[in-house]
Amino acid sequence: MTAQELPNGFTGFANRKPGFEPASASVGHTPVGGYTTGGGASLAGVPAGYERGAQGAFQYARDHARPDTGAASFDPDKLRLIPDTDRRWAWTEIDLNALRHNVASLKRHVGPGVRVMAVVKADGYGHGAVRCAKTALNSGAEYLGVATVNEAIELREALVNAPILVLSQPPDEAIPLLLAYKVMPSVYTPDFAIRYAEAADAFGIRAPYHLAVNTGMNRIGVRHDQVVEFLSQVSFHRALDLVGTFTHFATADAPETLDFHIQTKRFLEAIQGMRVAGVDPGIIHAANSAAAIRYPDVHFDMVRPGIALYGLHPCPETRTMIDLKPVMSVHARVTDARLVPMSEGVSYGMNYRSPGSVKICTVPVGYADGLRRGLSGRTDFIVSGQRFRQVGNICMDQCMFEVDMRIYGTRRRVDPQIGDEVVLVGRQGDSVVTLDDMANTLGTIHYELSIGFAQRMPRVYV
């Protein structure tokens, strides 16, 4: 009996799906019983001087040499070509066209003469900072915002040349990195400002920065009524270069507007005080996503959209004000499918019991991937355009969903098989599951969820 004639349940190869590639595609060039001959004890294709630890990755092939053919060998270059989505059936898709659409929508909304700073901190809110930064810049953004020095360095090393602002004041020890990589810090303490200027002066270069103003959020910044005093302490230094002045709104996404208007008034007074003192505030910016969409009066010279870039609305009020398209969707493939008899439990704790006539399907996504355990039994997955309930406790690496196998009138019967695609977040046909749905269930915000899904699942850019 040949391999193709073996029963499907034994090898899984008799009824291969279209596009299936055997593992032999990733080994050497001359197949011998599913492996390849290496012509000796050494590994074919491993560079000379390859580290002993690295060779250990191929130890199995060497130790299990077939006596009649010599040592089996794998080609490490071919192994590296096996895509991440074939190493584990779970991934996020990042729609760069949707990102371009969102940048264009924001540009139209704020109008000509207002720059856009694309905030790509936290690895682009889980969407991939480098690819999203480049796409945003190519779509009309002029500035980039990050949270840490390392985030800025990642962009520079990926050959991103746009102005980058670190949206907080880094430690003094990071000053050489700021200067070497041409990254601007936010500044709000005199000691840092002087040390930054002294280091720049020692290299014969300028020390550009943006002044952070605290107008009421009380997170970072020079207090709004002490801005002129602060500048009098640092502006004497010839290397310092005030490029911009900004604040951050705490309640731009809230229905209540009093605190927002108080912050706006304080910021305008601080800017006016700088001008009266003869200080040019540079690029004035304050508006996050919510403020950029809701409040034209605070667009100033530049807006700083973050979550809106990725197609997620900062608050319900913005949904009718601007057209945004979600950039991220979350996908997996079925790794197991079985009929579970009535009353048998599923997953840890067996909080779910089969009602009978259901198929329980497993996907390799769990709370270590960002699918929060609090969603157990409280979210739906989509298969073949239909929604199905997730059941049982979500595990660290896997979870299950239920498919009712009974037929009700004209209801279309879906019978998932191993390898079928499942949408955890996104749209398929007329069915949609959103990060907002999950966030509302959990009592949190979609920012947290989008970042969570980037923890270890590979990204596919489309």
Catalytic member of 35, 107, 121, 134: 121
Which residue of the set 60, 182, 265, 348 is catalytic?
348
Instruction: Give the 3-state secondary structure of residue 245.
Output: strand
Same domain, 348 and 306: no
Report whether pLDDT(409) > 90.
Answer: no
Residue 404 within any structural domain of the chain = yes
The confidence band for 19, taking pLDDT boundaries of 50, 70 and 90, is low
3-state DSSP call for residue 115? strand
Q: Does the pLDDT value for residue 14 go beyond 80? A: no
Distance of CA 27 to CAs 37, 65, 75, 81, 384, Å? Answer: 10, 14, 5, 11, 35
Q: Indicate the residue among 291, 318, 345 that finishes a domain.
A: 318
- pTM, to two decimals: 0.84
Q: Kindly state whether residue 43 falls inside one of the protein's structural domains.
A: no
Q: For residues 333 and 198, state if they share a domain.
A: no
Establish whether 182 is a catalytic residue.
no
State the pLDDT confidence band at 62, using cuts at 50, 70 and 90. low
The residue out of 296, 318, 340 marking a domain boundary is 318
Whether residue 352 lies in the annotated active site: no
Closest CA to 359 of 304, 414, 419: 414
Q: Which residue has the higher pLDDT, 405 or 29?
A: 405
| 145 backbone dihedrals φ, ψ, rounded to 5° | -120, 135
Q: Is the predicted pLDDT of residue 137 greater than 70, yes or no? A: yes
Does 203 lie in the same domain as 132? yes
Please indicate, yes or no, if residue 307 is contained in any of the structural domains. Answer: yes
Write down the pLDDT at residue 68.
Answer: 59
The pLDDT of residue 26 is: 47
* Per-residue model confidence (pLDDT) at position 413: 86
Are 161 and 308 part of one and the same domain?
yes
Lowest average pLDDT, out of 57-71, 397-411, 444-458, goes to: 57-71
Residue 105 resides in a domain? yes
DSSP 275-332: HHTT----EEEEE-HHHHHH-GGG-TTEE--SGGGGT--SSGGGTTT------EEEEE
How many CA atoms are closer than 13 Å to the CA of 113, on its beta-carbon side? Answer: 3
| Judgement on whether residues 240 and 131 belong to the same structural domain of the protein | yes
- Per-residue pLDDT, 69: 59
The mean pLDDT value of the chain amounts to 89
Whether residue 310 sits in one domain with residue 332: no
Annotated binding residues: 219, 396
312 and 336 together in one domain: no
The torsion angles phi and psi of 29, rounded to 5 degrees, stand at -95, -15
Residues 338 and 314 in one domain: no
- CA separation for the pair 143, 393 (Å, rounded): 43
143 within domain boundaries: yes
Which amino acids are annotated as binding site for substrate, given as ranges?
219, 396
What is the pLDDT at residue 328?
A: 98
Q: Does 13 score more than 70 pLDDT?
A: no
Looking at the structure, do residues 214 and 264 belong to the same domain, yes or no? yes
**Better-scored residue on pLDDT, 408 or 75:** 75
**366 and 223 part of one domain:** no
Residue 14 lies in a domain: no
Beta carbons within 10 angstroms of residue 367's beta carbon = 19
Q: Take residue 99 and report the two structure tokens written for it.
A: 């990102």
Beta strands 207-214 and 184-187: pairing type? parallel
CB 234 within 8 A of CB 295: no
Q: State pLDDT tens for residues 313-355.
A: 999 999 999 999 999 999 999 999 999 999 999 999 999 999 9
Range of the domain at 421: 328-433
Give the mean model confidence (pLDDT) for residues 85-110.
97
Same structural domain, 177 and 285: yes
Q: Model confidence over 242-261: pLDDT tens digits?
A: 999 999 999 999 999 999 99
Position 455 scores a pLDDT of: 82
Boundary residue ending a domain (318, 341, 367): 318
Residue 298: band (very low, low, confident or very high) from pLDDT cuts 50, 70, 90 = very high
- Model confidence at 73, pLDDT cuts 50, 70, 90, reads confident
Is residue 361 situated within a structural domain?
yes
Which residue is listed with tokens 């199905």? 388
Using one digit for the tens of pLDDT, what is the confidence trace for 379-404?
A: 999 999 999 999 999 999 999 999 99
Per residue, what are the HEC states of 376-433? CCCCEEEECCEEEEEECCCCCCCEEEEEECCCCCCCCCCCCCCCCEEEEEEEECCEEE
Q: How many domains does the chain have?
A: 2
Shared domain for 177 and 277, answered yes or no, is: yes
At residue 294's C-alpha, the angle toward residues 213 and 115, to 5°, is 60
In a domain, 118, yes or no: yes
Which CATH number covers residue 412? 2.40.37.10
